[in-house]
Amino acid sequence: MGDELALGVRAVSGAAVYRGMDRATLDRQYSPSSRVPSLDAYLRAYERLSAAARRDHPVRAGLAYGPHRAERLDYFPGPASGRCPLLVFVHGGNWQALGRAESAFPAPALLAEGAAVAVIEYGLAPDVGLDAMAGMVRRSVDWLLRHADGLGFAPHRLHLCGTSAGAHLATMTLLPDPADGPDVSGRIAGAVLLSGVYDLEPVRLSYVNDALRLDEAGARRNSPLHRLPERLPPVVVARGGNETEEYVRQHDRMVTALRPRQAVTEVVADRRDHFDLPYDLGVRGTGLGDAVLAQMGLGNARTGLGGTST
C-alpha cells in the first residue's frame, strides 16, 4: 500500500495529480456516470421502483434512529416468524445525494426470499462530514439491533450492504474503534460491498472533495483499506463490468486485502454497470443475488462463499 500511496503527487496545473493522471482524468475516473448514457434515467428509475416497493409492501417509514434530522430509516418487515435475516441497505450518491426516497428498490426481491430490509438515510456533504456520516450508519445498525425483537428479525442475522459511497460507509462500519458512533463491528453477520471506494486519497484530489473537504489526515482516517482488522464477517465484494478503471482498481485492492482475513465472494457482473448492479440484490439466478442469498442463509443459492462469479 505504501508504494501505491507514493504514486500520488501534489496537484500542479496541467500536470499529474495521482498515478500519472491529470485532474480532468481523475475527475472522470471518479465520475461513474461517465460510463452510462443517462444518470438521470437511473435516478428516475430508483425513485419509481422505490415508490412501488412502498406501495406494494408493508413498511414502517421514517423511523428515527438518532437525533439528526437525517437519521431516519424505512423498515420492511420479513416473515412473521421473527427469526428472519435483515439486510440493511446504505445508498450511494458520492456522499452528497440521494436518500430513502430513491433507495427502497432492492426490497421486493429480498422480501420475496424471506429477508427483512432496512433502508438507511444519513446526512450528506457538505453539511455533514464523513466521520459523522459513518457514525450515523453505525447508529442505525446499533438501533436496529436494539429493536430487533420489536421489528421481528434475528439480531444475529443482520447483514450490511452498501453501494458506491454506501459501500465505503458500510466498510467503515465494520471497523473497530470508530471516530464517531458506537462500535458495532463485532455484531454484523455479513457485508455486501457494491462498486465501492476504499482508499480516499484519490477522491481527496478529485472534484468530489469540493463537497467532502477532506484533508490528507481525514482521507487516511476514512480509508478503510488502511484500517482493516484481522477478523471480519463474510463479505461479498461486487462491481459491474462497466466501471471506470479506478473503480476496478479500488475493487481489486479490497478483494486482495480481505482474502487473508475472511471468506470473500467476489462478483464481477459483466452486463451491469455502477448504477444497475444493485438491481440484482436478492435476485436468484444472478451472480450477486445468489451470493447475497447464500451469505444470508436463504435457500439453495448457486454461488457459495469464497468463490468468484461473473
Q: What is the pLDDT of residue 16?
A: 86
Residue among 199, 173, 253 at smallest CA distance from 30: 199
Q: What is the percent of the chain with per-residue pLDDT over 70, rounded to a whole number?
A: 92
Q: Is the pLDDT of residue 309 over 60?
A: no
Instruction: Compute the distance between CA of residue 191 and CA of residue 295 in angstroms, rounded to an integer.
Output: 9
Q: What is the mean pLDDT of residues 38-63?
A: 98
95-133: pLDDT as tens digits: 999 999 999 999 999 999 999 999 999 999 999 999 999
Instruction: Compute the distance between CA of residue 85 and CA of residue 12 in angstroms, rounded to an integer.
Output: 50
Provide the CATH number for the domain around residue 77.
Answer: 3.40.50.1820
* Alpha helices (H) in the chain, listed in sequence order: 2-6, 23-29, 39-56, 107-112, 130-146, 148-151, 165-173, 201-204, 209-212, 216-221, 245-258, 287-296
Q: How many CA atoms lie within 13 A of 63 on its CB side?
A: 19
Q: What is the pLDDT of residue 301?
A: 54
Alpha-carbon torsion (49, 276, 187, 156), positive or negative: positive
Q: Is residue 8 part of a domain?
A: no
119-128: pLDDT as tens digits: 999 999 999 9
Q: What is the pLDDT of residue 303?
A: 42
Q: Record the pTM.
A: 0.92
Q: Is residue 23 part of a domain?
A: no
Tally of domains in the chain: 1
Q: Is residue 84 part of a domain?
A: yes
Q: Is residue 3 part of a domain?
A: no
272-282: pLDDT as tens digits: 999 999 999 99
- For residue 105, CA distances in Å to 70, 184, 275, 289 come to 20, 26, 12, 14
Residue among 80, 102, 253 at smallest CA distance from 166: 102
Q: What is the mean pLDDT of residues 80-85?
A: 85
210-242: pLDDT as tens digits: 999 999 999 999 999 999 999 999 999 999 999
Confidence of residue 14 (pLDDT cuts 50, 70, 90): low
Q: Is residue 255 part of a domain?
A: yes
Q: What is the mean pLDDT of residues 70-79?
A: 97
Please state, rounded to an integer, the average pLDDT across all residues of the chain. 92
For residue 265, the SS3 value is: strand
Q: What is the pLDDT of residue 235?
A: 98
- For residue 32, CA distances in Å to 45, 47, 265, 275 come to 17, 19, 23, 8
Q: What is the pLDDT of residue 250?
A: 98
Q: What is the mean pLDDT of residues 179-195?
A: 97
Q: Is residue 290 part of a domain?
A: yes
Q: Is residue 6 part of a domain?
A: no
Instruction: Compute the distance between CA of residue 207 and CA of residue 154 in angstroms, rounded to an integer.
Output: 41
Q: What is the pLDDT of residue 105?
A: 98
Q: What is the pLDDT of residue 82?
A: 75
Confidence of residue 168 (pLDDT cuts 50, 70, 90): very high
Q: What is the mean pLDDT of residues 74-87?
A: 92
Q: What is the mean pLDDT of residues 78-104?
A: 94
Residue among 93, 99, 90 at smallest CA distance from 161: 90
- Let me know: does 36 contact 244? Beta carbons within 8 Å: no
Domain that holds residue 124: 36-309
Q: What is the mean pLDDT of residues 71-99?
A: 95
Q: Is residue 73 part of a domain?
A: yes
Confidence of residue 173 (pLDDT cuts 50, 70, 90): very high
